[in-house]
Structure 1
Amino acid sequence: MRVFLSVLLLTQLIACSPNDTASNTLFDESHLRQDIKILSSDKFEGRAPNTRGEKLTLQFLTRSFGEMGLTKPNGKDYLQAVPMISYAASEQQVISLGELSLNNQQDIILNSRHDKETISIRNAPLVFVGYGINAPEYHWNDYRDLDMKGKIALILVNDPGFSHPESDLFGGKAMSYYGRWTYKFEEASRQGALGAIIIHQTKPAGYPWSVVVNSWNGPQQDLQPNNEKANNEETNNTAINNRVNIEGWITFDKAKQLFNNAGLPLKNLLDRASASEINLPLNMTASIAFKNKVEYSTSYNVIATLPGTDQTNEHVLFTAHWDHIGTDKQKTGDNIYNGAVDNASGTAGMLAIARQFIKQIKENGPLARSITFIATTGEEQGLLGSRYYVQHPLYPLDATVAVFNLDSSNIYGPTKDYIIIGKGKSELENYLIKNATRQERHAISEANPEVGGFFRSDHFSFAQKGVPAVFAGGGNQPIDAATSLKKEQMKKNMQGCYHDICDEYREDWDLRGALEDLTIYYQAANELANNHDWPGYYGGTEFYSLRPAHPAITP
């Protein structure tokens, strides 16, 4: 996943207890390992969309689904075309904010999602807009009385609840969608800003500066405007130009220098922004120039279905993104971002679940509802494949019962607990809790909800449309002292590997817990596939009005 999924999932997504003997026999660990090794091998070149790595990944996935005998949803193949547009900012950039001349990637990283060969901004006023939030339901508007036309917004990461976790502001400790960087660029665009730059801080962002650089360096993909290439230049520019002209991140140290030069200590502004709305001009301007390369292309979701019987039009979905960052030709030596944990492990897990359903049907007969498996593209670039699917579903969303998302599996061994990211949102979680209890595990929320894990992977695209979707797995409490000791050693070996070249498959990974996590998902989906339940979202959650729990209850 891209900046969207916190380091939490690489360092904390630990899995299940081996207490349930039956669950340990459901899945073939050697097959799971082999699939992870293949998908994360150097041969697959980091699985970036629109590369040789994508072609190899699509071949592997379609062959795997074909060998299982799963149905092709469109009757021809397993592929859903996802029209994309790629923007590549040049390495050489001229960037000055006030009196500061900044170095690309070291101090700041900028991109533009406009179809222009040259990005040139001269003397654009800089405006601090606090958290860059306009939330009427919280009576909060950082853009109040501002005209942002021709101006560049400087924005804090996360939301006010991060600094005041004891409060009810924006969900308190847990990040709201208003805290996501994607929202901040969207809102700055709605406000008519020329540009938007987020001030990076490791703790409220949930990842270090290196993750920003690795994720934002190189071509940045998005869905084509109106989901298709525009027919002419005029239409194309009209479709794209509603977005800010430049967007990116600046390090906290350089931001402090910038604000000090303006006579506005950033620490004081942080305190003010956390307590109330704030916006003010810095009385300085920005000049930015760089070349921009734009290319149109098509990537693919891979979709396969196991048809049900009497409720065949109702679908239970599994999602896992097949893509990662690819290669960095600027690096010497190893330059492949193999993405073994993120997300070869989740994709391999989805294949394992599909095989288990095939096995069960052969032994026990067909399911009532259909099961559909979606390996999505472009998750690292902003949930592109899942966003496109919910806009163009092959099966109606109102006939989609639930979504189980797999993104980064446990590699550290069994635990006594089980993490549900964003716990407390929907009735679907009850199926996970029930089956975790069978393994003598207790379900908990993630340790760091302030980094917004719920908004960072493909399940969120479905949640935004009201489809109950879960993202779960792992735990914090190793099952015994030996597992704890090994976990600590492996964490040292994997430290800093999120979105880095060291996210590679290793033979010493302890996948016992991953097998049990797969079992929880499998058993929960199996129950849903054979009943008439339609889980909904609890009252008080963002998605309650789209598909409410019945009766209207809170968790």
Structure 2
Amino acid sequence: MRLLLATLLLPLGACTATSGGTGTGGRTGDPGLSLETMRTVTRTLASDEFEGRAPGTAGEEKTLAYLAEQFAAAGLQPGNNGSWFQDVPLVEITPRDVSGLTFDTPQGALSLVYGADMVVTTNRVTPRIDVNDSDVVFVGYGINAPERGWNDYAGVDVRGKTVVILVNDPDWQTQSLEGPFGGRAMTYYGRWTYKYEEAARQGAAAALIVHQAEPASYGWNVVQSSWSGPQQVADAADGHMGETKANGWIQLDAARRLFAAAGQDFDRMAEAAKRPGFTAVPLERVAASVSFNNAVRRHASKNVIGILPGATRPDEYVLHTAHWDHLGRCEAAPDGDDICNGAIDNAVGTAALVALAEAHADAGAPARSLVFLAVTAEESGLLGSKYYGENPIYPLAQTVGGLNIDAPMMTAPARDVVVIGKGKSQLDAYLERALATQGRTASMEPTPEAGYYYRSDHFSLAKQGVPMLYVDSGADLIEGGTAAGEAAQADYTENRYHGPQDEYDPAWNWGGVMQDLALYYRIGRELADSDEWPNWVEGDEFRAIRDASRAGR
């Protein structure tokens, strides 16, 4: 028996289920979105039985079987030529016997302890990594952006050297959104993925990012749990041998000690790196060494894909995405629990795919096809969605747009939603219409420096030109206002995010999640019954890609 959304949302106005209307599916308004489905699927996926849903483990096998079963029960058809799955070739690399990171300095050896002071891994598919006596260079934010007149590598040769890099962008402390890198809002240049990519292009042997909690938007505990243990990389013909040998993070205090041992002041140099014209600084007579073995295993993880074929235009597609994976077994909590269950991140979002599929199927097929894609390896760098974006089952030129659901917060209903990347695409208008039915508003990101736009699976599709909408839970709660919303987000980030404490809680307040689920349904339904092709706004970084893609249609 389903528990209906309507009873949760009555205080918010026009959010109850209705019937009638002229849409292809024979129904307008919100359907009976199932709270029971949300609870059951979330509780199951986040249970210890699924062992944290790491790709390439028994937890993945259980997750795949369960999601295929749930998609079928919801009324979907297999989405990949009769199969529920799309293979995603991955390589699992597990660093072992890490030596520690040692710096030979003018003041003697400085040794950083693996886990406590630093973490290190590699994308190279090789059984052994050795970085020996590698000269160390501070390259500021590690950005090479000719279109912005910025190059932290100008005038310095870092081939075979170890580069030390600051997290985020040079203007992240700006309170406005004005600046060479978008002010407070992070650009892709601020992401760790970019920094390692650029270091590799420059020929560095190793790349070390200095962890600072505010510009990173998470604590060292998140780095430690996310970067220790097995790591996933996309399989590649060259085994990623053109990349840096070692990628890692070091604690802020460790960076200060390192710079002091080289006769430099870290804080002063970090401040200098914010200004145009910064020149990279070699740390004189400092050399880095680290070594470790790798356990290497190739395997095919899987995206799970289901489709509700459209009634009149089945070759036009509306996409719904969420990642099913999490970290598996990770750094143990004080009580010995070493399973990172990933309840919020992202069992809830995956459950939303099932509940939405169920509701759309019950309402009847809209004009366009609805695709539900549960992707793998988001936690390893959006690898599953990246693979789909580069190897789409359904042509991206015929994909109207999509909705991404990642880590909805468990709070009471809110007066708003937070839009990640507000103003980037014409999908904002669809969101505004859906919000109007609930008497709610769209808010800008309160922490644009966190770079959330580049941290979830919508980004992989956006890079291919597909307009994607990603909204986060509201910050202005009906009970407690923004103070309560910010407190809930801070509590999750500090105490549960990427840790064993992210577990299912029977006492959760589902009001906010179900409120947002109604928005996803309305937007998806309108897109699927419309004949419009929303685009990125003029001047957006993805507009030209979309225009070129659609030109052939």
Q: TM-score normalized by structure 1? A: 0.90
Equivalent residue runs for 1:364-513 within 5 Å: 366-481=365-480, 495-513=494-512
**Residues 16 and 474 in structure 1, CA contact (< 8 A), matched pair in contact too:** no
- Aligned-pair distance for 1:181? 0.3
Mapped pair 1:69 → 2:72: no
- What is residue 53 of structure 1 aligned with on the other side? 59
Change (3 A) 1:444 1:38: same
- Aligned-pair distance for 1:17? 7.1
Structure 2: runs of 5 or more not aligned: 1-8, 18-29, 549-553
Identity of aligned residues (%): 41
2:171 is paired with a residue whose SS is: helix
CA-to-aligned-CA distance 1:417-436 (integer Å, 9 cap, x gap): 11111111100121112111
- What is residue 85 of structure 2 aligned with on the other side? 79
2:99 is paired with a residue whose SS is: strand
Comparing 466-475 with 337-346, greater Cα deviation is found at: 466-475
- Aligned-pair distance for 1:93? 1.8
Comparing 32-41 with 473-482, greater Cα deviation is found at: 473-482
- What is residue 5 of structure 1 aligned with on the other side? none
Mapped pair 1:19 → 2:13: yes
- Aligned-pair distance for 1:387? 0.5
- What is residue 181 of structure 2 aligned with on the other side? 170
CA distance in 2 between partners of 1:16 and 1:433 (Å): 20
Change (3 A) 1:455 1:153: same
CA distance in 1 between partners of 2:405 and 2:457 (Å): 9
Equivalent residue runs for 1:25-424 within 5 Å: 26-98=32-104, 99-166=109-176, 167-225=178-236, 230=237, 238-276=238-276, 277-283=278-284, 284-328=286-330, 333-361=336-364, 366-424=365-423
CA-to-aligned-CA distance 1:497-540 (integer Å, 9 cap, x gap): 00010100112211111111111111111111111111111123
- Aligned-pair distance for 1:494? 7.8
2:256 is paired with a residue whose SS is: helix
- What is residue 25 of structure 2 aligned with on the other side? none
**What amino acid is aligned across from residue 209 of structure 1 in structure 2?**
W
1:82 is paired with a residue whose SS is: strand
Comparing 61-70 with 122-131, greater Cα deviation is found at: 61-70
- What is residue 540 of structure 1 aligned with on the other side? 539
- Aligned-pair distance for 1:487? 9.1
1:204 is paired with a residue whose SS is: helix
CA distance in 2 between partners of 1:494 and 1:113 (Å): 27
- Aligned-pair distance for 1:547? 2.3
CA distance in 2 between partners of 1:178 and 1:520 (Å): 32
CA distance in 2 between partners of 1:462 and 1:545 (Å): 14
Change (3 A) 1:139 1:17: farther
Q: Which has the higher contact order (CA 8 A, sep 6+)?
A: 1
CA distance in 1 between partners of 2:323 and 2:158 (Å): 36
Change (3 A) 1:474 1:88: same
**What amino acid is aligned across from residue 170 of structure 1 in structure 2?**
F
1:402 is paired with a residue whose SS is: strand
Change (3 A) 1:539 1:97: farther
CA distance in 2 between partners of 1:174 and 1:290 (Å): 36
- Aligned-pair distance for 1:406? 0.6
Structure 1: runs of 5 or more not aligned: 1-14, 231-237, 550-555
- Aligned-pair distance for 1:463? 0.6
Q: TM-score normalized by structure 2? A: 0.90
- Aligned-pair distance for 1:405? 0.4
CA distance in 1 between partners of 2:124 and 2:92 (Å): 10
CA-to-aligned-CA distance 1:441-496 (integer Å, 9 cap, x gap): 11011100011011000000001111101110321111135998799689758841
Comparing 483-492 with 291-300, greater Cα deviation is found at: 483-492
**What amino acid is aligned across from residue 512 of structure 1 in structure 2?**
G
CA distance in 2 between partners of 1:273 and 1:525 (Å): 44
CA distance in 2 between partners of 1:163 and 1:21 (Å): 40
Change (3 A) 1:446 1:484: closer
**Residues 76 and 306 in structure 2, CA contact (< 8 A), matched pair in contact too:** yes
**Residues 466 and 546 in structure 2, CA contact (< 8 A), matched pair in contact too:** yes
**Residues 125 and 239 in structure 2, CA contact (< 8 A), matched pair in contact too:** no
